[in-house]
Structure 1
Amino acid sequence: MTSSALIFGSIGSVAETSDLQRRAFNAAFADAGLEWEWSLPEYKEMLRKPGGRNRIADYAAARGDDVDAEALHEAKVEAFERMVKQEGLVPRPGVVEVITAARDAGMLLGWATTTTPRTVELMLSGLFPTIPRSIFEFIGDATMVEAGKPAPDIYTLALSEMGVRADEAVAVEDTPEAAEAAVAAQLRTIGFANEMAAGRSFPEGVTLITNLLDADVVVHKDAA
């Protein structure tokens, strides 16, 4: 199948950040004097619902605690920034090789994330120079659409901005919920589960892989 565009989805489709994010939440809770600590199994279950602020608000409501979810999430982002600067980011298996192959094949590259602009900038900074901003034709964030994933809005925008049809693009997503967005936008979708989504069921029609090199996402346009 010949594709004109390769679109990475959530930030976790490019670099594994799930446990780093969990630790950042716990650091923010500790700094705020809260006796909250999200375990790995607990956080894995929470990730079924996208949105860090929503997770904080839902957790507080379930415990009967009154917190400022917005401020806590801001503190979590700051903790995440510190950790990324201290520990760095490493692209997931096969990502760099597939990006290189896609560019050699003349494919457009996009990143259809709906995280905050601040987190997008942090990811780009942490991945530079291995994955520079300049390789992407489109980079999304939460401010660009009214509805986040699993709504397809960010993919619809990405396709429009990149000038390609849905049947000309392939998406790479790391969670079932995020994959729903790509499927709803009618893109061929690769399920590249992050460590927290491993073993979960992805939407019907999604091709599951553990190393991006195992996915047939790059075909030279003159090879069909």
Structure 2
Amino acid sequence: MTHKALFFGAIGTLAETSDMQRRAFNAAFDEAGLSWNWGETEYRELLKTPGGKRRVRDYADARSQSVDADEIHARKVAHFKRIVGEEGLQPREGVLALIDAAKRGGLKLGFVTSTGQEQIDLILSNLGGIDAADFDYIGERGKVENSKPAPDIYQDALQALSLKAEDALAIEDTPESAEAALAAGIDCVAFPGGDARGRNFPEGTIIPDGPLGPELLNQPQAAE
């Protein structure tokens, strides 16, 4: 049997944006008068904590500093928008072919992210070959109380699409986000981006032998 839905679980499963995000954070820190500067190695470690605002808060707490994480994150989003406008976005390898195969096969498509709506709109309006109309479900932070690695956003997607957990196949780019899919009982494929390559994904995650592509849809459906 095949799955009935394919869930892309994060911005990073559609496009490589981590370095853009890192540079946007640094621009926001500078604008806020902070001496923080996240290098590539440090940012890779910080990404183990999902959620940009939470990263800022935790970073400040670790340094006994008081900051307005909401304001800093808003500045970061503005800088990220600027960088995307200047540099553009390209889908990750295999994503367009996979989406096309899923649509031709009659699968429902979900973008099951718990990031903010502004960033979601930015990505989907600037990513060539992909837009909001491709998805039957689009998540965002306001839909759930708990962000990943909690399973809430996946549970919301299943409910919205009238699906059972075994009906869906998720794609995630970090171990923490993969935990969310697995906790919801959904089969999950690891598709690590540049900042997550070499990291260990949770037990039970499907590790493809090659690049992402239409053959992924041949994964067997989970047994009920």
TM range (shorter): over 0.9
Task: Show the 5 A alignment for 1:133-212.
Answer: 133-209=132-208, 211-212=211-212
Shift of 1:218: 5.0
Shift of 1:171: 0.2
Partners in 1 of 2:28 and 2:201 — Cα distance?
A: 31
For 2:141, the aligned partner's letter is: A
Q: Matched residue pairs, number?
A: 218
Q: Which residue of 1 aligns with 2:11?
A: 11
Q: Tell me the TM-score normalised to structure 1 length.
A: 0.93
Shift of 1:10: 1.1
Partners in 2 of 1:135 and 1:184 — Cα distance?
A: 26
Partners in 2 of 1:119 and 1:30 — Cα distance?
A: 21
Task: Show the 5 A alignment for 1:98-113.
Answer: 98-113=98-113
Partners in 1 of 2:93 and 2:141 — Cα distance?
A: 26
Shift of 1:215: 5.5
**What RMSD, in angstroms, separates the aligned Cα atoms of the two structures?**
1.4
Q: Which residue of 1 aligns with 2:97?
A: 97
Q: Which residue of 1 aligns with 2:38?
A: 38
> In the TM superposition, what whole-angstrom CA distance separates every residue of 1:48-84 from its partner, at most 9, and x where no partner exists?
1111111111111222222111111110000001111
Asked if 2 retains the 8 angstrom alpha-carbon contact of 1:175 and 1:202, the reply is: yes
Partners in 1 of 2:99 and 2:21 — Cα distance?
A: 25
Asked if 1 retains the 8 angstrom alpha-carbon contact of 2:97 and 2:214, the reply is: no
Partners in 2 of 1:205 and 1:67 — Cα distance?
A: 39
> In the TM superposition, what whole-angstrom CA distance separates every residue of 1:99-149 from its partner, at most 9, and x where no partner exists?
001111111100100000111111111115x10211100000000001110
For 2:107, the aligned partner's letter is: M
Q: Which residue of 2 aligns with 1:121?
A: 121
Counterpart check, 1:66 vs 2:69: no
Asked if 2 retains the 8 angstrom alpha-carbon contact of 1:101 and 1:218, the reply is: no
Q: Where in structure 2 are there 5+ consecutive unaligned residues?
A: 220-224
Change (3 A) 1:207 1:214: farther
Change (3 A) 1:19 1:82: same
Partners in 1 of 2:202 and 2:175 — Cα distance?
A: 6
Partners in 2 of 1:70 and 1:167 — Cα distance?
A: 37
Q: Which residue of 2 aligns with 1:217?
A: 217
DSSP-derived class of the 1:86 partner: helix
Partners in 1 of 2:48 and 2:154 — Cα distance?
A: 20
Asked if 2 retains the 8 angstrom alpha-carbon contact of 1:189 and 1:206, the reply is: yes
Counterpart check, 1:26 vs 2:26: yes
Partners in 2 of 1:45 and 1:86 — Cα distance?
A: 27
For 1:198, the aligned partner's letter is: R
DSSP-derived class of the 1:58 partner: helix
Asked if 2 retains the 8 angstrom alpha-carbon contact of 1:190 and 1:215, the reply is: no
Which stretch shows the higher mean deviation, 161-170 or 76-85? 161-170
Q: Percent identity?
A: 49
